Amino acid sequence: MTSADESANATSNWNLPNALTTLRIVMVPFFGWALLLDGGDSVTWRLVAWALFVAAMATDKIDGDIARARGIVTDFGKIADPIADKAITGMALIGLSVVGDIWWWVTILVLAREWSVTLLRLSIMKNVVIAAAQSGKIKTVLQALALGLLCLPLRQVDGALEIPGEILFYLSQVLLAGAVTMTVWSGYEFYRDAWKQRASIRTP
């Protein structure tokens, strides 16, 4: 195989990370449907929604690990991966606001930050590369933990599970507050760094 062929294969969109990214996008409507079924009061379907959300978060890590280990970088992956991430978390935020587990202002604030940063990152991708900051990684972990817990039927169970459910619900709200704080801060850091890099490029 020639080096040209190897290069073509290395950048082919037909690879496992991109397949997992596509799967994550396909899962979004099914996740939303399960979360909203019966107004979010079905214990069974909330558990299904939770399982889909956990699976989506797992594939996000797995496809990233595989792509880094194999040195796979594709145009499709650059665009689709962040869209898949924002789609699943966005669906979780909107769905949980619809069923009354998250305030709408929180959802609007987080989505405005997430999509504005994603669109800006995609628009300046060719000229400016902003490395993932530590605050962004913390934000992602807190979001995943908070949304994952809130997908569970924490306030729909009774009996022996009622008190643990209430405790976990309020714990998830604390995690969500931390996630919102880090979402705003990491967004500020991203815009600050993007502005500095663009300014340095323009400076002769």
Domain boundaries, the chain: 3-202
- Mean predicted confidence (pLDDT) in 105-132: 81
Residue 161 has pLDDT above 70, yes or no: yes
Q: Lowest-pLDDT range, 9-23, 85-99, 138-152, 183-197?
A: 9-23
Measure the CA–CA gap between 190 and 170, rounded to whole angstroms.
30
Q: Which residue has the tokens 């979004």?
A: 28
Q: For residue 201, give every residue at least 6 positions away whose Cβ sits within 8 Å of its Cβ, in sequence order, or none.
A: 127, 128
State whether residue 158 is helix, strand or coil: coil
pLDDT for 78: 80
What is the overall mean pLDDT for the chain?
87
pLDDT at position 197 is 76
Is 3-202 assigned to CATH 2.40.50?
no
Percent of the chain with pLDDT over 70: 87
The Cα 147–Cα 124 span in angstroms is 30
Please report the pLDDT score of residue 129 as a whole number.
63
Q: What's the pLDDT at 135?
A: 87
The answer to whether the CB of 118 falls within 8 A of the CB of 86 is yes
- pLDDT band (50, 70, 90) for residue 188: very high
Q: What band does 127 get if pLDDT is binned at 50, 70 and 90?
A: low
